[in-house]
Amino acid sequence: MVDDRVLTQEIFEDLARHAIRTEEAPRLESVNGKLGVKALPDGDHGRIVAWLTRQCFQADPSRWLYAQQGLRIGTYCRGNARSDGALARSGAFVGQGEWADPAAVLMLVEVTSYDDDTDLRDRVEKPRAYAETGIPVYLLIDRDGYEVKVHSQPDGVRYETVVTVPFGKTVRLPEPVGIELDTEPLKNWVR
């Protein structure tokens, strides 16, 4: 565990830049100044992200769901996250390097992993950090709960609105996303 008084934005980015880059290497994040390791995705996880990418592109070809885009999140430079998907206009992160400014992000997406840290990371810490950052929509595809949670209307501390629907129902992703998702296919990609 790294003391959060020591883990600055610069130290984290240097650590992440010099981490071993292999398929088996962990993906590092720093949410609210706390160093974390994000589990490597399984095949179903990847399929969900691909499915959602297609849905977003079909709804508006001028936007793209960027997988694993590094973003500076949180207040006072206390976070770096790699969401499973960052919806933004095509080309939004060109020239920004590994850790981009989140200002262009319309929605961040997380698909739960089957690890011990997913509850705290995806259901508690990230919604708070994303709301503090002002991300308009946070979509959590919760494979453990067989449900989708749509967080919207960030107030700088938390999301004021959270809509939860079970897999198989249709859910509306509010503006600025403005997409209706039929979540029936998600039933095929869970344990």
Residue with tokens 């600025």: 176
- Predicted confidence at residue 86, as pLDDT, reads 97
Q: Under a CB-based contact definition with an 8 Å cutoff, are residues 132 and 138 in contact?
A: no
- Predicted confidence at residue 20, as pLDDT, reads 47
pLDDT in tens, 14-69: 555 555 444 444 555 445 555 555 555 567 889 999 999 999 999 999 999 999 89
Residues 6+ apart with CB under 8 A from 13: 80, 98, 99
- Predicted confidence at residue 71, as pLDDT, reads 92
If you average pLDDT over residues 128-143, what whole number do you get?
A: 94
Q: Is the pLDDT of residue 190 over 80?
A: yes
If you average pLDDT over residues 178-184, what whole number do you get?
A: 97
Question: Strand pairing of 27-31 and 170-173?
Answer: unpaired
- For the chain, the structural domain boundaries read 42-189
CATH of 42-189, one of 3.90.1570.10, 3.30.70.3270, 3.40.50.300, 3.10.20.90: 3.90.1570.10
- Residue 30 has which token pair? 């720093």
- Predicted confidence at residue 17, as pLDDT, reads 56
- Predicted confidence at residue 113, as pLDDT, reads 83
pLDDT in tens, 72-126: 987 544 678 889 999 999 999 999 988 899 999 999 999 998 777 666 777 888 8
Q: Where are the strands (E) in 115-156, listed by range?
A: 137-142, 147-154
- Residue 158 has which token pair? 């938390």
Beta bridge partners of 182: 170
